[in-house]
Amino acid sequence: MKKVLLILVLSSLSSGCAILVSNAASSFSSNLAAAVLNQNDPEIVRDGLPTLMLTMDSMIEGSPNDPQLLAAGASLYVTYGAVFANGEERSMKLTDRARHYGLRAMCETYEPSCIWPNVTYDEFLNTLNGIGSKDADILFSYGLSSLAYLRARSSSWSTVAEFPLIQALFDHYLSISGDSVNSSVYTYMGIMHSLRPPTLGGEPELAREFFEKAITESLGNDLNAKLEYARGYAKLMYDRELHDRLLNEVLDANPNHNGFVLTNILAQEEAVKLLTEADDYF
C-alpha cells in the first residue's frame, strides 16, 4: 500500500511546490517530481526528502494561509511518513502533520471542509458535493494525506470507520477531475474497495475493475497496479494463481519506463517479499 502512495504524492507535489520558486523558475517543481520518479536508487530519495520537508515548513511559517503551499507540505510529509519512515510511531507522527497541512489547505480553499474530521458520513457527503473541478488538486492532497494518516493507524476501529469517507472523497475527485486524473488513482480506488471483505462492506469485484483500469490506463507501465491487484484483490479472494501470476509479471517486467522507474523498482522489491510469504498465506 505505501509503495503506491509515492507516485500519487509526487503527481500532486509537482503543482504544489511551484510556490517555492520564482515565476522564472516555476518549472523546478515539475522537474523535481520527474527526477524523483525516474530515480533508480530509492535510498537517494529517502535521504534527500528531509531537507525539502524542512524547507517547506519554513515557507509555511512565512505564508501560513496559502493552500497551495500547505498542500505541497502535506504531499512531502505523506511521501516520507508513508513510504520511507522507519517504525510505526514515526510514521504516525509524520502522517499526522501531513493531514494537518492537508486539512488546512482544504479549509483555506473551501470553508465547509474545516469541520471534516468530526462529521458524520452524511454530513461529509453534503459538504463534499460543493467542491468543483477548480479545487480538485487540493481535494486530492487532503484525501491522500488522510489515507496515509488512516493507514498508519489501521489497527484502530475508529480509523477503519473513517475509510468510507475517504473512499467517497476520491469518488468525488474522479467525478470532477476530468482529463487531468492520474491513472494511479484507479489503483488507489482498487485498494480502497479491497480493504474489507464483502461481509464487512467491501466490494472486491469493483476493486478488480479499478485495478484492471489502472493497468490499462498506464499501458502496463505502472507495476504498482499489478502489485496492489495481487496484494489487495487476489489475497482477499484467496486466488493463488492470480496472485502469483501478477507478481511474476511484475518481476519479469522492465522497470525503466519514464515516470515510473522509482515506483516500479519499489514494486519489484515488494513482489519478491509477497511471493516469499505466499505459502504461509494460501
Query: In this predicted model, what pLDDT tens digit does every residue of 166-202 receive, in sequence order?
Result: 889 989 998 998 776 767 788 888 887 887 777 767 7
Among 152, 182, 212, identify where a domain stops. 182
Tell me: do 91 and 133 sit in the same domain. Answer: yes
Task: Assess whether pLDDT exceeds 70 at residue 117.
Answer: yes
Task: Assess whether pLDDT exceeds 60 at residue 101.
Answer: yes
Rounded (5°) CA angle 71-17-141 = 25
The parent domain of residue 225 ranges over: 189-282
Tell me: do 148 and 201 sit in the same domain. Answer: no
Residue 133: all three cell numbers together: 473541478
Tell me: do 176 and 247 sit in the same domain. Answer: no
Going by pLDDT thresholds of 50, 70 and 90, the confidence category of residue 231 is very high
Among 125, 151, 182, identify where a domain stops. 182
Tell me: do 40 and 117 sit in the same domain. Answer: yes
Task: Assess whether pLDDT exceeds 70 at residue 86.
Answer: yes
Assessment of whether the complete model's pTM goes beyond 0.85: no
**CA 34 to each of CA 51, 226, 261, 262: distance values in angstroms, whole numbers, following the listed order:** 18, 22, 10, 10
Find where cell 471534516 sits. 116
Task: Assess whether pLDDT exceeds 80 at residue 122.
Answer: yes
Tell me: do 147 and 193 sit in the same domain. Answer: no
Find where cell 474489507 sits. 196
Tell me: do 203 and 113 sit in the same domain. Answer: no
Minimum mean pLDDT range among 23-27, 123-127, 223-227 = 23-27
Residue 85 to residue 50: CA distance in whole angstroms = 11
How large a percentage of the chain has pLDDT more than 90? 41
- Across 33-42, 91-100, 199-208, the highest mean pLDDT is recorded for 91-100
Tell me: do 207 and 176 sit in the same domain. Answer: no
Tell me: do 12 and 139 sit in the same domain. Answer: yes
Tell me: do 208 and 176 sit in the same domain. Answer: no
For position 74, which CATH number holds? 1.25.40.920
Residue 6: all three cell numbers together: 509515492
Provide the pLDDT for residue 15.
Answer: 47
Residue 236: all three cell numbers together: 482477499
Tell me: do 9 and 137 sit in the same domain. Answer: yes
| pLDDT tens digit sequence for 132-154 | 998 988 998 898 898 888 878 87
Tell me the mean pLDDT in the region 221-249: 95
Minimum mean pLDDT range among 5-9, 67-71, 165-169, 227-231 = 5-9
Tell me: do 15 and 142 sit in the same domain. Answer: yes
How large a percentage of the chain has pLDDT more than 70? 85
Task: Assess whether pLDDT exceeds 70 at residue 7.
Answer: no
Question: Hey, what's the torsion of the CAs at 140, 143, 146, 148, to 10 degrees?
Answer: -70
Question: How many domains does the chain contain in total?
Answer: 2
Among 125, 158, 182, identify where a domain stops. 182
Task: Assess whether pLDDT exceeds 50 at residue 20.
Answer: no
Closest CA to 223 of 198, 182, 196, 256: 256
Task: Assess whether pLDDT exceeds 70 at residue 30.
Answer: no
Q: 21: number of CA atoms within 13 Å, CB side? A: 16
Task: Assess whether pLDDT exceeds 90 at residue 160.
Answer: no
Tell me: do 231 and 200 sit in the same domain. Answer: yes
